[in-house]
Amino acid sequence: MSVTIVDWQQHCDEDGILWLILDKKNTDTNVLSVSVLEQLDGLLDEINGSLPKAVIFRSGKAKGFIAGADVKEFLDVTNTQEALIMIKRGQKLFSRIAALPCPTVALIEGFCMGGGTELALACDYRVALDDDATRIGLPEVKLGIHPAYGGVVRATAIINPLKSLELMLSGRGLSARAARSIGLVDSAQPARQIERAARQIALSPPARQQMPLLGKIISLPGIRNLVAGYMKKQVAKKAPRQHYPAPYAILDVWANYCGDNKRMMEEEANSVARLIQGNRVRNLIRVFFLQTRLKGLGDKKSFVPRHVHVIGAGTMGGDIAAWCALRGFSVSLQDREAKYLGNAFRNAHRLFGKRLKTTAQRNAALDRLIPDINGDGIARADVVIEAIFEDIDAKHAIYREVEARMKPGAVLATNTSSIPLETLATVLKEPDRLVGIHFFNPVAMMPLVEIVKTESSSGEAVEHAIAFTQHIGKLPLPVASSPGFLVNRILMPYLVEAFTLYDEGVAPEAIDKAATDFGMPMGPVELADTVGLDICLSVAQNLSQAFGIDVPGGLGKFVDAKKLGKKTGSGFYHYKKGKPVKDKDANLGDQKMIQNRLVFRFLNEAVSCLQEGIVADRDLLDAGIIFGTGFAPFRGGPINHSLEEGIESIVQSMTDYAGRFGERFRPVDGWSLLSE
């Protein structure tokens, strides 16, 4: 077969090494589409026909090696048969690479993910660029599948399985040095040496990577089943099997077929073909695309801030400031007195220690975080974020002072979650410039940021706020200025329903199990305890005024008794070492009923938000809820889930529940929009 080679370039150098450069047309990022693989197949025919001294694979892109397979092509696969054909084609191709008689080297610069890593594993040697941009991983598990082009087989054959399985189960990306230390790559080299390294390895191939003794022992039959069992237990803590089968499938393929490469390859393929069935993978891919959409909002180039000023060094302000410093911005952090900044610096040290690898990087981040009692940083700030406690007068006083000292064109933002923007803006000479940039707690872990705008908010201020959010590596979600915005508004009725169930005598364990069985990462009761019952109460009271939700009395009782949840050691649950003590024999009650009550409140509120235009469209709503609450991602978001379940069926059940349990379950008008 003769395929036109458009995405690969090749040249043979004076030493007889064939360089295969992947430079996929019309894109900045290399992905292994079916076409790219077909072309590679054709190239391998030529190579086998006249063998070069060695082959070096490299990317021709400015950024990155290979990002993985073409995810869009997954969506085209409609049944198991098609999936198996696609997978086996890829497996065969990579096996051809592995079987080439001459040495093969993968020269990895920048990101190398999924199929890209599998291609590299099929080569004899791997050399990675030692810089900050290089990340090597097998993140397929995040899409509900696992490596299918021989990645599971080869990774567990070359590298200690504890390390390679951990890599596949977590989906993390490793730096070049970390990859070197587990044996995923043979060498990590700076830019000034990498070509020479690849060439020398190709011309004088060193001894191939050997599985360390410990790895061999772990791979023995019997032992590996024990290891797999243990690892499954670890995975179950975060990802229950019923909703996240992929990690368990990886462990099964390894434990059951390790040692028999041919069989293991087949099972790798069959396993992924099975996983693709149903909606789960489709929905996880949808989440991936939703994330891409949020990442693409706004125009980063239109606004390049350099200095950020944060007012308020409490938990939120301190963490926002530290996060911005982590992301490379110079940040001045202000509070009334020096002593209020102490905790912010302690937490910043911890954050930088965890996220930054070298001392120089940590020092640089600390250098960028400037304590500023006098507000000297306001005059040079491109973004000013007010993050003090929720008091209108205090905020007004700050805005008056800050507006006078700010640079023209700088963004004035508030992190408020409960005071309307319109009320806050009244003291400004230019009220249009105030926007909300609403972070979630903990700032370092929550990717979503709600960008709050009013009817009169200046378009430029909003655009700049979105661009700023992109620059600090968060996902911006434009929302209308309405109580609770999107996330808190939808969470609240769900939490209130949980409290109501509790007041009715349902065990908290039962409530939480119903939610986690649905796919929520944490049950509502534990969530409330974690956020803090005082905060829940104040948010509930704030939203109940606006939306007429009845706040159940039980919550207030806890707060009065100073049992505020995890932070005081006791709330709905008792806490030991930060973990809730759950009663294993608790009466689980009618799980279906409990789950429905919780989910229906969630969905009903989501539809209200859609109807009111809190966000611009359904996809943004789903994205906001997934990234803001961790809502079962494999369901694709509340609206997507509703559509999958069937609008009529849900509306029917909710109407029924309205009769049985109260008017709050009556489907809102917005549901009719969805049935169109």
Partner 1 sequence: MATTNKKYAKAVYLVDGRRTPFLKARGRPGPFRHVELGIYAARALLLRMPFEATEFDEVIFGATMPGPDEANIARIVALRLGCGDQVPAYTVHRNCASGMQALDNAAMSIASGRSDLVLAGGIEAMSHAPLLFHPKMVNWLADWWAAKSIGARLGVAASFNPRMLAPVIALLKGLTDPVVGLNMGQTAEQIAWRFGITRGQMDQFALESHQKLHQAQQNGDLAAEIVPLYDSKGEVYELDDGVRPDSTLEKLGKLRPAFDKPYGLVTPGNSAQITDGAAALVLASEGAVKKHGLPVLARLVSTEWAALTPAEMGLGPAHAIAPLLKSQRLKIDDIDYWEINEAFAAQVLAVIAALKDRDYCKQQLGLRSAIGEIPADRLNIHGGGVSLGHPVGTSGARIVLHLARVLQQKNAKSGIASLCIGGGQGGAMLIERSVS
Which residues carry out catalysis?
A: 438
Residue 48 found at the interface with partner 1 (CB under 8 A): no
CB of 374 to partner 1, least distance (A): 8
C-alpha to C-alpha distances, 407 to 378, 387, 472, 602, nearest whole angstrom: 8, 19, 20, 42
- Among 121, 341, 479, 603, the residue binding partner 1 under the rule CB under 8 A is 341
Q: Indicate the residue among 67 and 365 with the shorter CB distance to partner 1.
A: 365
Q: Indicate the residue among 116 and 377 with the shorter CB distance to partner 1.
A: 377
- Among 156, 160, 175, 347, the residue binding partner 1 under the rule CB under 8 A is 347
Single out the residue of 640, 602, 440, 615 nearest to residue 520, CA to CA: 602
Residue 372 found at the interface with partner 1 (CB under 8 A): yes
Residues 6+ apart with CB under 8 A from 604: 493, 654, 664, 665, 667, 668
Type of residue at 117: T
- Among 103, 298, 377, 667, the residue binding partner 1 under the rule CB under 8 A is 377
Longest dimension (CA), the chain: 82
Only one of the segments 114-122, 185-193, 242-250, 335-343 lies at the binding site for partner 1 (rule: CB under 8 A); that segment is 335-343
Q: Indicate the residue among 336 and 557 with the shorter CB distance to partner 1.
A: 336
CB of 348 to partner 1, least distance (A): 9
Q: What is the DSSP letter of 341?
A: G
Per DSSP, which regions of 265-373 are E strands?
A: 307-311, 330-334, 369-371
C-alpha to C-alpha distances, 405 to 358, 380, 580, nearest whole angstrom: 37, 9, 47
CB of 566 to partner 1, least distance (A): 21
Residue 11 found at the interface with partner 1 (CB under 8 A): no
| Separation between Cα atoms, residue 147 and residue 158, nearest integer Å | 15
Q: Indicate the residue among 191 and 379 with the shorter CB distance to partner 1.
A: 379
Only one of the segments 210-218, 225-233, 372-380, 528-536 lies at the binding site for partner 1 (rule: CB under 8 A); that segment is 372-380
Q: Indicate the residue among 44 and 364 with the shorter CB distance to partner 1.
A: 364
Q: Indicate the residue among 295 and 349 with the shorter CB distance to partner 1.
A: 349
| Separation between Cα atoms, residue 344 and residue 366, nearest integer Å | 12
- Among 21, 364, 419, 593, the residue binding partner 1 under the rule CB under 8 A is 364
- Among 210, 363, 652, 675, the residue binding partner 1 under the rule CB under 8 A is 363
Q: What is the DSSP letter of 389?
A: -
- Among 72, 196, 346, 592, the residue binding partner 1 under the rule CB under 8 A is 346
Residue 592 found at the interface with partner 1 (CB under 8 A): no
| Separation between Cα atoms, residue 369 and residue 657, nearest integer Å | 53
Q: Indicate the residue among 346 and 400 with the shorter CB distance to partner 1.
A: 346
Single out the residue of 615, 597, 105, 46 nearest to residue 625, CA to CA: 615
Task: Tell me how long the chain is.
Answer: 676
Phi-psi region of 64 (alpha: psi -120 to 50; beta: other; left: phi over 0): left
DSSP 275-290: HHSSSHHHHHHHHHHH
Type of residue at 463: E
Q: How many residues bind partner 1 (CB under 8 A)?
A: 23
Residue 370 found at the interface with partner 1 (CB under 8 A): yes
Q: 316, 387 in Cβ contact below 8 A? A: yes
Only one of the segments 90-98, 377-385, 410-418, 587-595 lies at the binding site for partner 1 (rule: CB under 8 A); that segment is 377-385
Residue 380 found at the interface with partner 1 (CB under 8 A): yes
- Among 339, 429, 576, 660, the residue binding partner 1 under the rule CB under 8 A is 339
Q: Indicate the residue among 291 and 361 with the shorter CB distance to partner 1.
A: 361
CB of 369 to partner 1, least distance (A): 9
At 655, give phi and psi (nearest 5°): -60, -40
Q: Indicate the residue among 249 and 331 with the shorter CB distance to partner 1.
A: 331
Residue 334 found at the interface with partner 1 (CB under 8 A): no
- Among 51, 133, 226, 338, the residue binding partner 1 under the rule CB under 8 A is 338
- End-to-end alpha-carbon separation of the chain, Å? 48
CB of 378 to partner 1, least distance (A): 10
Only one of the segments 99-107, 250-258, 344-352, 513-521 lies at the binding site for partner 1 (rule: CB under 8 A); that segment is 344-352
| Separation between Cα atoms, residue 298 and residue 271, nearest integer Å | 40
CB of 364 to partner 1, least distance (A): 7
Query: Omega of the bond prior to 103 within 30 degrees of 0, cis?
Result: no
Residues 6+ apart with CB under 8 A from 553: 503
| Separation between Cα atoms, residue 38 and residue 414, nearest integer Å | 53
Q: Indicate the residue among 234 and 363 with the shorter CB distance to partner 1.
A: 363
Residue 349 found at the interface with partner 1 (CB under 8 A): yes
β-pairing verdict for 307-311 and 173-174 = unpaired
At 115, give phi and psi (nearest 5°): -60, -30
CB of 612 to partner 1, least distance (A): 43
- Among 9, 27, 343, 423, the residue binding partner 1 under the rule CB under 8 A is 343
| Separation between Cα atoms, residue 198 and residue 370, nearest integer Å | 44
- Among 373, 428, 522, 588, the residue binding partner 1 under the rule CB under 8 A is 373
Single out the residue of 368, 372, 380 nearest to residue 409, CA to CA: 380
Q: What is the DSSP letter of 428?
A: -
C-alpha to C-alpha distances, 259 to 73, 90, 125, 246, 262, nearest whole angstrom: 32, 21, 22, 21, 9
Footprint (CB under 8 A) of partner 1, residues 304-333 = 330, 332
Residue 576 found at the interface with partner 1 (CB under 8 A): no
| Interacting residues with partner 1 (CB under 8 A) | 330, 332, 338-339, 341-347, 349, 363-364, 367, 370-373, 376-377, 379-380
